Structure 1
Amino acid sequence: MTVPLSILDLAPLVDGGDARDALRRTLDLARSAEEFGYHRFWVAEHHLTPGVASSQPAVLLGAIASVTDRIRLGSGALQTGFLTPLAALEQFGLLDALYPGRFDLGLGRSAQRRKSDLSSSQPPPEVDAHVVDGLLIPKHYNYQVLLKSGSAQLWFKLLKQPGAEPLDLDTVVEDIEILRAGPYTDAEGNSARAVPGEGADLELWILGSSGGESAQVAGARGLPFAANYHVAPAKVLEAVEAYRAAFKPSSLLKEPHVMVSADVLVADDDETAVELALPYALWVRSVRQGGAVPWPTLEQARAHKWTEEDRRLVKDRVDTQFVGSPETVTEKLETLRRVTGADELLITTMAHDHHDRVRSYELLAKHWPPSC
C-alpha cells in the first residue's frame, strides 16, 4: 500500500544565517515540494526559539500560498492554548478567502488545561525500548523537567495574557466548528459572526503526541489525526490506537484517517546521508536543554564532546531518525506506515546546506511510489 507524502517545515535557521534567510529557504522549499509532487506543506508553530523562524503559521502560510499554486498548506500545529477559537478561525478564514480551498487548520493542545474526564484509565506504565514488527519504539522522554524550568515559565508569561485561562481542546474545536457554520449564538440569543471564517473551506486536523486528550477528541469528533513519531516516537502506537478506539463517524470522515510524522534525511547513498545527519543529535540536545539553536555545521557536530548524559538525552530521537539512501529510507518509512496503519506520512528534514535539504526531499519523492 502506498500513501501520500507531505512535508512539515520549521523554517529552521542555520549557524551563520538569520530569520530572513530561513524564511526565504522555506518559500523555495515549498515551491520545490509542489514540483516534486508532495501532497501537503505544513509549517510548525514555535516561539522564543533562536533556531526556528516559524512562529506565526498563518502569516507564513500566506507568503507560501503566494508562491505556490496547488499544494495544500497547513499548520502543524496551531498552538491553541495561546489564542482564542475565533482568532484561529479568522486567521485561516482570511487565508481561505485569498487562496480558496487549499488550507488545513491543524490544531495542537499546547498550553491548554487538560480535561481529565476524557479517560478513566490510568496512563500506561513506562516501558523500555523495544521493536514492534520492525519499528523501533524507544523509551519515553519525560519533558516535565523542561516544562517546569524557569525558561518555560518566562515563555508562558510572554505568550499568554495575564490571568487568561485557556479552553480545553474539545471546547476549542466545538467553538471553531460553530463559528465556521455561523452564526454563533449564546443562551441569551446574542449572535456573532466570524468574517472572514464563516463558511471557510478548511480541513480541520488535530495533532497529538500520545493517547491522551488530542487523540481522543479527534476520534470522538470524527476528525483526521496526525501522530508525532518524530517528536514523541515512544507514544506513537498509543496515540493512533487511542484515536481509532475513540473514533465516531462524522460528516467529514466515515473511517479514521491518520497521518504519522517522521524525521528523515536522504542522500544518494547511506554513507553520505549519515554524514549530513551528524548535526541532528546536537540540535536535539539544544531543544531539550531549553531552545533549539540554529542548525549546527558539520564541523561543530564533529567537534562536540559527547557525555553519556548527552547521549541519553537525545537517544530516542537519534535512534528513530530515518537516514540513508532513497532505498534505505523508503523501506523504513514503509515499516512506519505498516505498523501504524498510516493513511499519510508527514516528513520533516533539516540540513545545514539548503541544497542538501531540497535534494533529500527530491530523492525521496522520486523513489516513493505514487499513491493510488
Structure 2
Amino acid sequence: MSTPFSILDLAPIVTGSTSAQALRNTRELAQHADRLGYTRYWLAEHHGMPGIASSVPPVLIAELAAATSRLRIGAGGVMLPNHPPLVVAEQFGMLEALHPGRIDLGVGRNAGIDPRVAEALQLSAETQSIGDFTKRLAELRNYFNEDSLAVPAAGNRPPMWLLGSSVRSAKMAALFGLPYAFAHHINDQQTSLALDAYREAFQPSAELEKPYALITVPIICAATDRHARKLAEPGALAFVELQKLGVGQSPRAQLPTMEEVENYPYSSAEREIVNAYFESQVIGSQETVRTKLDDLIRRTQADEIMATGMTSCNKDLLRSYELLAGLYADGACVWTRAPEHADADA
C-alpha cells in the first residue's frame, strides 16, 4: 500500500527577518517540492500574527502556481467565516481557470484566536457558528455550478476539502462527501477517532465516491536524530511562547533563531512542555522518521501525509524535505510501507 506525501507551509518569519524574506523562502521551498515530486503544497491563512506571513492564500497560490510546473497548490485553508463565499468562489475559480488541474480549495471554520482580528474582520458570534459555516459551505459549492453568477468560477471547480481538528468536523466532511484534512499537528490525540468517524459517516457525492483523508504531521528530518532535534528547537520554543497567551502574557512575535533558543532560560514547567511537544513530532534521521511514519500510517490508515515543519534556516528545511523525499519509492513522493508491515496490511 502506498501513501502520497505533500507539504503545508505557514511562511514563518524568523526573528530579525521580514515577511518579504519569508515569502521568498516559501517560493523557494515550493519549487524545491515541485522538483522532488511532492503531491501538493498548501498555504495556511493566519491574520494578526507577526511571525506568520501567510495571510492571503489566493495571492500566494497564484505566485507559487506560476513558479512551479506540476505541484498542486492550494489553501490549507481559507477560513470561510472571514470571507463572502462569492468572493472565495471567484478567486479560486480564476486560479483553476489559470492553472487547470493544479488548484486545491481547503476550507475551515477557525477564524483565529485574537479578538482584535475578529473585530477587524467584522466577525460576530453568528458568523462563527456551526450553522452559519454550514450555510456558507453549501453556498460556496453552488457557485462552481455551470449556471452560477460567480465568474469565472462557473465551470472551473477546483477540488474542495474540509479542514478540521475534531470528530465534529470529520462528520461534517463526511456529510458533504468531501475529502478531509485533519490537523494531526494540532490534535494528535483524536486523529484516529476523527478519521474513523469520517469513514463511518461518509456519504458519496459528485466530487468524491469514497472517503479520502490526509493528516498534517510535523516532520523534521536530518542526518542524525540529534541534529534533527536541534533544528526543531526553534519551533518548540515558539510553541512554549504560544502557551503564554493562555495566561495573559505576551509571547515573542516571531520564530526564534538558534541563538535565541540556546540563550533561553527554560523553567522546569517549560521543559515539560518542550518534551511533550517533541513526543508529538516526527523528528529524527531518515531511519527514525521512516519508523515513526510507518507506524503512524499503519495506526491511522491515512490516505495521504502532509508534512509541516519550521526551522530558523530555510536551507535546513529544504534539506529536511529532500531527505524525506529520499525515503520514497522510485524517486516519487509516494510512501511505500516497510516490509515488516506488509503481511499485516495484506
- Match of 1:183, SS? coil
Q: What is aligned with 1:300?
A: 260
Aligned partners of 2:146, 2:273: CA distance in 1, in Å? 47
Q: Deviations over 1:176-215 (max 9, x none)?
A: 121111435xxxxxxxx00121111301001110101x21
Please, which of 227, 230, 233 is the counterpart of residue 182 of structure 2? 227
Q: What is aligned with 2:283?
A: 323
- Match of 1:76, SS? strand
- Are the structure 2 counterparts of residues 52 and 271 from structure 1 closer, same or farther at C-alpha, using a change threshold of 3 Å? same
Q: What is aligned with 2:341?
A: none
Aligned partners of 2:49, 2:132: CA distance in 1, in Å? 25
- Match of 2:143, SS? helix
Contact 1:222-1:252 at 8 Å conserved across structures: yes
1:154 pairs with 2:116: yes
Q: Which moved more, 1:307-316 or 1:74-83?
A: 307-316
- Are the structure 2 counterparts of residues 80 and 173 from structure 1 closer, same or farther at C-alpha, using a change threshold of 3 Å? same
Q: What is aligned with 1:75?
A: 75
1:269 pairs with 2:224: yes
- Match of 1:199, SS? coil
- Match of 2:254, SS? coil
Q: CA offset at residue 36 of structure 1?
A: 0.5
Alignment of 1:81-96 (within 5 A): 81-96=81-96
- Match of 2:49, SS? coil
Contact 2:127-2:133 at 8 Å conserved across structures: no
Q: Which moved more, 1:89-98 or 1:290-299?
A: 290-299
Amino acid corresponding to residue 204 of structure 1 in structure 2: M
Q: CA offset at residue 331 of structure 1?
A: 1.5
Aligned partners of 1:292, 1:247: CA distance in 2, in Å? 42
- Match of 2:167, SS? coil
Please, which of 180, 183, 193 is the counterpart of residue 144 of structure 2? 180
Contact 1:231-1:317 at 8 Å conserved across structures: no
- Match of 1:3, SS? strand
Q: What is aligned with 2:162?
A: 206
Q: What is aligned with 1:254?
A: 209
Q: Which ranges of structure 2 fall in alignment gaps of 5 or more residues?
A: 246-250, 337-346
Amino acid corresponding to residue 92 of structure 2 in structure 1: F
Q: CA offset at residue 259 of structure 1?
A: 0.2
- Match of 2:182, SS? strand
Q: CA offset at residue 245 of structure 1?
A: 2.1
Q: What is aligned with 1:238?
A: 193
Q: Deviations over 1:254-287 (max 9, x none)?
A: 2210101110111111121122122221111223
- Are the structure 2 counterparts of residues 73 and 277 from structure 1 closer, same or farther at C-alpha, using a change threshold of 3 Å? same
Q: Which moved more, 1:249-258 or 1:263-272?
A: 249-258
Length-normalised TM-score, structure 1: 0.82
Q: What is aligned with 1:117?
A: none
Count of aligned positions: 325
- Match of 1:229, SS? coil
Amino acid corresponding to residue 174 of structure 2 in structure 1: G
Aligned partners of 1:86, 1:316: CA distance in 2, in Å? 42
Q: CA offset at residue 77 of structure 1?
A: 1.2
Aligned partners of 1:345, 1:45: CA distance in 2, in Å? 20
Q: What is aligned with 2:238?
A: 283
Q: CA offset at residue 43 of structure 1?
A: 0.5
Q: What is aligned with 1:342?
A: 302
Contact 2:15-2:255 at 8 Å conserved across structures: yes
Amino acid corresponding to residue 301 of structure 2 in structure 1: G
Q: CA offset at residue 5 of structure 1?
A: 0.4
Contact 2:126-2:132 at 8 Å conserved across structures: no
Length-normalised TM-score, structure 2: 0.88
Aligned partners of 2:89, 2:162: CA distance in 1, in Å? 14
Alignment of 1:94-105 (within 5 A): 94-105=94-105
Q: CA offset at residue 237 of structure 1?
A: 1.9
Q: What is aligned with 2:108?
A: 108
Please, which of 133, 136, 150 is the counterpart of residue 169 of structure 1? 133
Aligned partners of 1:70, 1:358: CA distance in 2, in Å? 18
Please, which of 328, 334, 337 is the counterpart of residue 368 of structure 1? 328
Aligned partners of 2:23, 2:54: CA distance in 1, in Å? 8
- Are the structure 2 counterparts of residues 159 and 318 from structure 1 closer, same or farther at C-alpha, using a change threshold of 3 Å? farther
Q: What is aligned with 2:55?
A: 55
